[in-house]
Homo-oligomer: A and B are copies of this chain.
Amino acid sequence: MRRRVAGVGAGVEMHMARRATIDDARLLEKLGCVFRECGYEGASLAVLAKAAGLQKASLYHRFPGGKEQMAREVLAAAEALIARDILMPLKSKAPPAERVDILVRQLNGFYSAGRQACLLNMLSAAPTQEGPFAKEIKRAFAAIIAALAVALRDAGFDARSARVRSERAVMLLQGSLVLCRGMGTTRPFRDFLKRLPQELLAGRA
């Protein structure tokens, strides 16, 4: 449907690209929800289109590469969001305890208090199958672990302890989300968040 802007001379907007009914950021967010809920195989074009409020053909117009491109861009957007809201605070100059508090808040929002699964888990394929996103997923995990380790080194841990602790924290995060899905409750994630500061910083030098 063609839209007209009141007061604007007819014909002017016809030479401009028509406005999308949903902007890219919002679209990627809607698609991301589907991929996080259903995984890559489970996310059919029909479901994706319904979530976006668009027809399948409209999705193909905006993602000529089809479902794979959608997932790829969703993943890239998630990486950017993680970099800004999680990695950057972790590597800031603030006191480590404060960085961890920020981390807790950001994680809580990022995973909707345990109601949303992790994209990295849902888009992972078996190593033997070498999924289309293996490189991005590996990079994202490595970046999170590295940023956490930076904060822990700043908190006084040696390089090895910092790395072990940050890996363990990521395991607990992922495991808590798996448990939330499996048990049908957000409690494991909430408990994880409550204990995370202790888990990271207790016993520091």
Contact = CB atoms under 8 A, between A and B. Distances in A.
Interface of A: 37-42, 115, 117-118, 120-121, 124-129, 134, 137-138, 140-142, 164, 167-168, 170-176, 178-185, 188, 191-192
A37 B131 CA distance: 11
A173 to B, nearest CB: 7
Given A37-B128, A41-B39, A167-B188, A137 B182 contact: yes
A185 B142 CA distance: 12
B184 A134 contact: yes
Given A170-B175, A178-B174, A178-B175, A127 B184 contact: yes
Query: Which of the listed residues A37, A117, A126, A137 has the most CB atoms from chain B within 10 Å of its own CB?
Result: A126
Contacts of A183: 137-138, 141-142
A138 B172 contact: no
A71 to B, nearest CB: 14
Given A39-B39, A138-B182, A141-B183, 15 more contacts: A38-B126, A40-B42, A120-B178, A120-B182, A121-B182, A124-B182, A125-B181, A127-B181, A134-B184, A137-B182, A141-B179, A167-B179, A170-B179, A175-B175, A175-B176
